[in-house]
Amino acid sequence: MQGAWLAVLAAVVLWVMMRGIRRHYDATAAELAVTETRSELTLPSRVFAIVLVSTIHKPTLRALSYARAFRPDHLEALTVSVDRDEAAALRGRWEDYGIEVPLKILAPYREVTRPAVDDLRSVHRDSPRDGHERPVAADVLGPRRPPCSPGPGSVRRGAPSSPAVRPEGYTGSRRRP
């Protein structure tokens, strides 16, 4: 009976957390709800696209190509740098590669998320009637695999597989030797 208050306290804390999560979901649903169909279907006068960049690698170049495929009126790459030297190095590599998309560097900041979100909000605040393509984070566009090629460790036990994806020592039997 001495520790029962801990269980009650934990239940109350969990209840409060779940209420907060529910409130967040309700607010998100209200924000996304269609209130006036005609205004939602109106084409924007201009389209802005922003690609979030941390470094130059294949996912960055793919994200830039993807954004360019939209043919936006304004396209820019955005990075938030903690270190001035790192920002200068990124700018140099950007120019060396001859990437035609303008690179906007927000620096120096100790936090990465808030300056990027503030910049995106300022773009929307400056032109609320224009279309804003949501930013494409290049770091989340990881390496692509063909649809028939499973990733490492994804072959089920006992499932048929070709020699190309068969793990070493795989016998095809469900029983362990």
Would you say residue 145 has pLDDT above 70?
no
Chain centroid, CA 21 distance in Å: 21
Query: CA 44, CA 74: separation in Å to the nearest integer?
Result: 13
Q: For residue 32, how many C-alpha atoms fall within 13 Å in the half-sphere facing its CB?
A: 6
**Residue 79 region by backbone torsions, left for phi larger than 0, else alpha for psi between -120 and 50, else beta:** beta
C-alpha closest to that of 53 among 19, 21, 91:
91
Neighbours of 91 (CB within 10 A): 15
pLDDT digit string, tens, across residues 53-77: 888 999 999 999 998 998 888 899 9
What is the Cα–Cα distance from 165 to 163, expressed in whole angstroms? 6
The confidence band for 83, taking pLDDT boundaries of 50, 70 and 90, is: confident
Q: Which residues contact 145 (CB under 8 A, 6 or more apart)?
A: 151
Kind of pairing, strands 131-137 and 47-52? parallel
In DSSP terms, 80 is beta-bridged to 106
**Is residue 127 very low, low, confident or very high in pLDDT (cuts 50, 70, 90)?**
low
Cα separation, 35 vs 32, whole angstroms:
9
Structure tokens at 37: 């169909």
* pLDDT score for 151: 46
User: Residue 120's closest CA among 61, 78, 88?
Assistant: 78
Q: Both ends of the chain: CA-CA distance in Å?
A: 50
pTM score, whole prediction = 0.54
